[in-house]
Structure 1
Amino acid sequence: MSNFTLINQGTLRQGLVKGIECNGWTITSKRAPICNSAEMESIQKNFGIPPPEMVFGNNHVTIKHGETEFTWGAYDALKLVDTSSTSSEKIKVAYSEEWTKKSAANHTDIKDVIKPYDWTYSTPYKGTLISSLDNRSFEKADTPVDFQRLMKPDPILFYDENILYEDELADNGTAMLSIRLRVMPTCFLILQRFFMRVDDVLFRINDTRVYHEFGSKYLVREYTSKEDHYNNIRRKLPIGNMDISLLNDPNWVSRMLPDEPAVFSRESLMVDH
């Protein structure tokens, strides 16, 4: 069993930090109150988009080891929401009619109504590298996340979930960016997930996994983006089951999405160990 120390500092009102120190790594998850009106106005001013309904701008997940520091936060994720005039090209033709109807109904003031990234807050965010050994960056790699190791029934030394932002898309669905992290005696895994459901139109999940095996020289980061038409996923509900709550379950939807991602990347970062 690894030697470790749990971290529990502060309060939820001021900022509650939970985490673990293990094998030279400090892994923390900070949860704080939802952004106030001044912070929400700042988001709109700085990023040029109306903010999601709920933004937890002071929430962070951070991993540190020696010179390496990597973090996840709502503001950096929102910076990558596409507001360009060509953003509509990234939606498949099969969705365009339904998407136009949704956009027109909720954004009648927008001349070019197919602006999905203006109101679904989709982001390709993969986390923020603050510092690294010799200022190195992530590079394309072949070594994958070791899912076989992750499936072993090892004890979980620390686990947490953290929400960065969420929106109900004008009652037409949901968009949520969240993080789950777990630390075992031999490794840790951090999953950042963007989950989007637009009713009658589309499901999309963008996943970023950061994995490290203690003693290894590398952090491994894998990114996938998957999507499918809403009706294709709905047809996969259990036969005879009228309960559609599964469509709100990101884990279930993730299993129903196509095996082959629309976008995939695998990178690694050398860390001091």
Structure 2
Amino acid sequence: MTSSADVNSDFEAANIQRLPVNTETFKINDWVIQYKKSHILHSQCKTADKCSNSSNETCQFCIYTNMLNLPHLPEMVFPNNILYISHTSGVQIEFNALDALKLVSSGKLDLKVSCSETWMESRDPSNLGEKIKPFDWTFTTNYNGTLSGPVSTEPTEERINIERLKEREKILFYHELMLFEDELHDNGIASCTVKIRVMPSSFFVLLRYFLRVDGVLVRINDTRYFHDFATNYVLREYTNKESPVQKLQLPLPMFGDPNLISSYLPIIEGCYEKLMWPSNSTSISSDTTTIIN
């Protein structure tokens, strides 16, 4: 088992909603952790007759296209890949592709990706017709999870102890989910993943959006959640890191691994919060169990 802070590192079918969904549930103390995992989203609607009227049987492709004001979706979207972290107080932290994509800009690219003009000028314009539509074709999202229930947030000066995460401790549960990925027409990559690991003393989550526009820009938006089971709060840290490629002066292979390149990127923006819930909740159990569904 790896001990680093960044815990390292499906396809189209006739009816995505009928494909089997893998799921696993893990219980520890006051928490239930569950993931669901299945195949890629269809590239088009397969049930137009049902989706054209206002029924409850709308396919996932139509749900995504109706709720997202984007000219097109990433090449690979995993609508059934969802991570749930639930507390006995009723608080739930969820990670899913739809909420992540809701935060992609449907307008013109902001100044932070203005250097993509250099990239576009160096490419054949006939191949860029889809990219230069007025939306963020990098699918950049600052999604930091979906909160529900009686949770409150406040700024904090406390930071996640990265050195503690590097200590050797038994990993009771680990999983990684891809939420979406796009290869930017073979000119880079944009991906959004979530990883969780649970130890006897705590749990740690890394939600990461990674962007590489070849020869132009590298961006990493990370959200980390850490909870020490001896405390009554969760720390959440969001950071936006990015840099033009020419300023990095790093070996080419490093640009393909966000774990390697992350420490070389300057922090552009950071948000540090403490998530809290009512203290009178009842503990599920003092035992740790794993349930395979």
| TM score, norm. by length of structure 1 | 0.82
CA distance in 2: counterparts of 1:103 and 1:196, whole angstroms: 21
Cα shift readout 1:118-177 (whole Å, capped 9, x = no counterpart)? 211000000000212xxx432211211122321211111111111000000011100000
Instruction: Report if the CA contact (8 A) 2:120-2:128 is conserved.
Output: no
CA distance in 1: counterparts of 2:275 and 2:257, whole angstroms: 32
SS in 1 for 2:61: helix
CA distance in 2: counterparts of 1:103 and 1:208, whole angstroms: 36
Match for 1:166 among 175, 181, 202?
A: 181
CA distance in 1: counterparts of 2:113 and 2:124, whole angstroms: 13
Match for 2:67 among 46, 49, 64?
A: 46
Instruction: Report if the CA contact (8 A) 2:205-2:226 is conserved.
Output: yes
Instruction: Report if the CA contact (8 A) 2:95-2:145 is conserved.
Output: yes
Instruction: Report if the CA contact (8 A) 1:19-1:158 is conserved.
Output: no
Between 1 and 2, higher relative CO (CA 8 Å, sep ≥ 6) is seen in: 2
Q: 1:267 and 2:288 equivalent?
A: no
Report how far residue 104 of structure 1 moved. Answer: 5.0
Q: 1:70 and 2:76 equivalent?
A: no
Distance 1:103 1:56, change over 3 A: farther
- Which residue of structure 1 aligns with residue 31 of structure 2? 25
- Which residue of structure 2 aligns with residue 250 of structure 1? 258
- State how 1:113-152 maps to structure 2 within 5 Å: 113=132, 118-132=136-150, 136-152=151-167
Match for 1:80 among 91, 99, 103?
A: 103
Amino acid at match of 2:261: V
Amino acid at match of 1:209: R
Report how far residue 42 of structure 1 moved. Answer: 3.7
CA distance in 1: counterparts of 2:205 and 2:211, whole angstroms: 19
Gaps of 5+ in 1: 1-11, 238-243
- Larger relative helix fraction: 1
CA distance in 1: counterparts of 2:74 and 2:124, whole angstroms: 16
Percentage identity across aligned positions?
36
CA distance in 1: counterparts of 2:238 and 2:198, whole angstroms: 20
- Which residue of structure 2 aligns with residue 207 of structure 1? 222
Cα shift readout 1:69-108 (whole Å, capped 9, x = no counterpart)? 11000000000001224x333335xx25414436955443
- Which residue of structure 2 aligns with residue 98 of structure 1? 118
SS in 2 for 1:178: strand
CA distance in 1: counterparts of 2:124 and 2:156, whole angstroms: 39
- How many residues are matched? 244
CA distance in 1: counterparts of 2:202 and 2:227, whole angstroms: 6
Cα shift readout 1:5-43 (whole Å, capped 9, x = no counterpart)? xxxxxxx94211124211121112211111123333442
Distance 1:152 1:185, change over 3 A: same
CA distance in 1: counterparts of 2:127 and 2:99, whole angstroms: 26
Gaps of 5+ in 2: 1-17, 46-59, 282-293
Instruction: Report if the CA contact (8 A) 2:119-2:215 is conserved.
Output: no
